[in-house]
Structures are given as structure tokens and as C-alpha cells.
Amino acid sequence: MKDKNIDKQKKMNPILWFVFAIVFPLIIIITLVIVVMGVAGINVTDWAKEKGNQIPIISEIVTTEEEKETEHKERQAQANNEDKDNEIIELNRNISDLEETINLLEQEIVKLENNQAETDDTEESPTEQDTENQGIDMIASSYEEMKSDQAAAILQNLESDTAVLILQEVSDEVRGEILEAMDPEIAAEFTQALISNED
């Protein structure tokens, strides 16, 4: 029985010896060195980070200020990219909405042109002229309810005669907003055509 206790003590003694003879003194020495260097004016934590960053395994754990700043910039760039992607998606939706509106208006224009071609073949009676004017009035009223930049984008894609007819029927205020939203050269052409039609 005594032999077993002596064996256990012998086995525990090397572990205790290691802890008390090596680990504790090492901890005390490291603490004293840090305190002395701190009193001497050396920033021990920055120095330790810098040196730790040069050691292969520890460098993955320790992050320096430069690495933090780089990560922050990367996160900001990624957030900016996401914002730009969302903006592109929104603009693409607006483009498809405008294209849809253009298609509808082009179909309406084709109908009106067909009606006009039929009436050109025969003499126009006052009632047929009235229905054509009503069609143009209807389209003009839809342009008055539209945003000026959308209306301008659509009118720029139409034939100039049709666009001028529509512009003649909208109110002066709406006409001014639409012309303002257009490309200056196209707006100048439409203005010239409006003046010529009034003569």
C-alpha cells in the first residue's frame, strides 16, 4: 500500500515541480518585463501585435490596426457595391416600365394612323375629325398625368409629327416640363415644329 502511495507522489511531483519551477516563475518574469517596459514608455501591446503578426500561426489570430482598417474599407466597398447593384436593378425596372409604356403608345399611334389613312381615302366628315381629335385628346391627357421625364423619353422615340400633335394638346405648363426634360436638340426641333404649326 505504501509503495502505491509513493509511486503516486513520485508521479505527481514532476508535474508540480514543472508548474512551480518553470510556469509560475515564467509568468512572473513576463509580467515584470511588461510593467517595466510600460513604465519606460514602450507600448508593449502594439509591439506584441507587431511581433506576433510575423509569427505564422499567431499572425492569423492577431490583427493589427492596418488589417482592421483594410477590413473596414473592404466592408465599405462591398456595401457600396450592393447599393449600386440595387440602384441598377431599380433603373432596369424603370427602363422596362418605360418600354412597356412606349409599346402601348405606339400601338395607339398605329391605330390612330390607320384611322387617319382610312379617313384620308374618303372625305372627312366633321364627326370623323371629332373622333380623331378625341383620340389625340385622350393620349394628351395621359401624358399630362405622367412624370415629365417619362413623357419626354417616350416622345423622343415617337415620330416628330405625332409627338408635335401630342405636345399641342397638353397644357402649357406640362409642355414646358416635358420639353425641359428632353434632349436640348430634340426639344428645339419640337419647338420649331410647334411654332410652324401655329402659323
In the chain, where the domains are located = 85-199
DSSP one-letter string for 95-152: HHHHHHHHHHHHHHHHHHHHHHHHHHHSPPPHHHHHHHHHHHHHHHHHHHHS-HHHHH
CATH-assigned architecture of domain 85-199:
Orthogonal Bundle (1.10)
Using alpha carbons, list the distances in angstroms from residue 20 to 5, 7, 16: 22, 20, 6
CA distance 53 to 66: 11
Q: Does the CA dihedral 80-81-86-87 come out positive or negative?
A: positive
pTM score above 0.85: no
pLDDT on residue 196 = 82
Give the pLDDT confidence score for residue 144 in this predicted structure: 78
List the chain pLDDT tens, one digit each, 199 residues: 566 666 665 556 777 777 778 888 889 998 888 788 778 877 777 777 777 677 766 656 656 667 778 888 888 999 999 999 999 999 999 999 999 989 888 888 888 888 888 877 655 455 555 566 677 778 777 777 888 888 888 888 888 888 888 888 888 888 888 888 888 888 888 888 888 877 6
Using only C-alpha atoms, what is the Rg of the chain? Answer: 41
AA letter at 11: K
CA angle (176 as vertex; 175, 181 as ends), nearest 5: 100
